[in-house]
């Protein structure tokens, strides 16, 4: 007898069993975010924590695209598209931030559809070059065209902070931190649910062997395009907050250097787990603050850390505890065999 459709659509047992720990991880992130204002309300620490949450939202959306085996070098550009779209709609059209928060993200997702449809037809270096070229085109448009709208080389200034919501003003660092914490936890919860669903398991299979997945009937292109568009939507969401948090936009905010840092944060943390970006983003953002006085050498230091991570922890820092436990088990097993040989008559 054929299984019912409801059973066929349900996630595999392994996915259901593995979803408990990640749910606890989301709860831990939410608890940490809620605890920080109780520990300190210093504007500097709140600013750094807000930046960490914003970077975390961006790296988690980038990791979603990497989960199908594609490194989108234009990901930071979709953040910029959401940022500029929201800034212009608020300053020129007069819309509320709470409307442009979603409109800006939708604009980024809408532009991701044609770009992804073209780029995902190819793979390897060709995909890399197409997305990189699009990123440069977007940066040049922001910097050199429609200067009256985008601000040109001087940047777009005068972007207001989020307007009131239910009587709550978002003028101070604490309120902006709270808003970003809510957005980040919401994104993390959605991505964790997605990771342990059938969609997430299929995306992982595509990353490991896309040709094999296609022979088994998986629509590989549709899955890749879906992750491309969904990741771009969340990047646009982070961009909208970035625009109204910093209150100034410049094309360099969405250029090659921040894109390289995004890749470094994600890869160092580990792309094999949804929690890899959490580890990489928190550690490397804090390291970036400590290296603020050595800004010109920041990329060099991060590059060295990336090389060492690839050599000694190729699965990322998030997998380091499991790697250490595996090595210790191998060492104990080897010692036990050696003792057995020594005691043999």
Q: How confident is the model at residue 301 (pLDDT cuts 50, 70, 90)?
A: confident
At residue 249, does pLDDT exceed 90?
yes
| 23-70 pLDDT tens trace | 677 888 888 888 888 888 888 999 999 999 999 999 999 999 988 888
Mean pLDDT of 234-257: 93
Q: CA-CA distance, 197 to 16, in Å (whole number)?
A: 8
* pLDDT score of 336 more than 90: no
Phi, psi for 255 (deg, rounded to 5) = -100, -160
More confident residue, 326 or 249: 249
Rounded CA-CA distance 104/111 in Å is: 11
Report pTM: 0.86
Tokens of 184: 């980040």
DSSP 3-state of 156: strand
Architecture of domain 20-294: Orthogonal Bundle (1.10)
Element spanning 119, H or E: helix 97-119
Q: Give 168's strand partners.
A: 165
Please, what is the Cα angle at 245 between 156 and 238, to 5 degrees? Answer: 95
The pLDDT tens digits for 104-163 are: 999 999 999 999 999 999 888 899 899 999 999 999 999 988 888 888 888 899 899 998
Give the number of other CB atoms < 10 A from CB of residue 17: 11
What is the reported pLDDT for 20? 52
* Cross-strand bridge partners of residue 165: 168
pLDDT at 307: 86
Beta strands, E only, the chain: 156-157, 248-249
Six-digit token string for 85:
């779209």
Is residue 89 predicted with pLDDT exceeding 90?
A: yes
- Label the pairing between strands 248-249 and 156-157: antiparallel
Nearest CA among 114, 156, 188 for reference residue 254: 156
Mean pLDDT calculated for residue range 186-214:
88
């Amino acid at each position: 007898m054929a299984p019912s459709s409801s059973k066929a659509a349900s996630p595999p047992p392994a996915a259901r069993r593995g979803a408990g720990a990640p749910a606890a991880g989301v709860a831990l992130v939410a608890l940490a975010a809620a605890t920080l204002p109780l520990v300190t309300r210093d504007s500097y620490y709140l600013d750094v924590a807000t930046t960490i949450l914003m970077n975390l939202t961006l790296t988690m959306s980038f990791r979603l695209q990497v989960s199908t085996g594609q490194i989108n070098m234009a990901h930071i550009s979709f953040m910029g598209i959401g940022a500029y779209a929201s800034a212009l709609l608020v300053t020129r059209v007069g819309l509320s931030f709470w409307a442009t928060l979603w409109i800006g993200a939708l604009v980024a997702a809408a532009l991701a559809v044609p770009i992804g449809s073209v780029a995902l037809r190819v793979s390897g270096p060709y995909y890399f070059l197409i997305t990189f070229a699009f990123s440069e085109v977007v940066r040049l448009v922001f910097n050199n065209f429609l200067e009256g709208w985008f601000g040109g080389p001087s940047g777009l200034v005068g972007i207001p902070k989020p307007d009131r919501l239910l009587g709550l003003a978002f003028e101070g660092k604490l309120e902006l931190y709270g808003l970003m914490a809510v957005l980040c936890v919401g994104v993390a919860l959605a991505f964790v649910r997605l990771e342990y669903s059938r969609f997430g398991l299929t995306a992982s299979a595509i990353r490991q062997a896309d040709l094999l997945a296609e022979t088994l009937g998986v629509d590989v292109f549709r899955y890749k395009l879906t992750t491309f568009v969904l990741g771009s939507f969340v990047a646009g969401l982070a961009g909208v907050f970035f625009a109204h948090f910093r209150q100034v936009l410049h094309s360099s905010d969405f250029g090659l250097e921040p894109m390289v840092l995004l890749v470094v944060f994600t890869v160092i943390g580990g792309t094999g787990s949804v929690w890899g970006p959490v580890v990489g983003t928190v550690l490397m953002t804090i390291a970036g603050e400590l290296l603020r006085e050595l800004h010109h050498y920041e990329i060099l230091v991060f590059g060295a850390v990336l090389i060492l991570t690839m050599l000694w922890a190729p699965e990322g820092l998030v997998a380091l505890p499991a790697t250490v436990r595996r090595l210790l088990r191998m060492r104990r097993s080897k010692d036990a065999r050696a003792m057995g040989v020594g005691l043999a008559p």
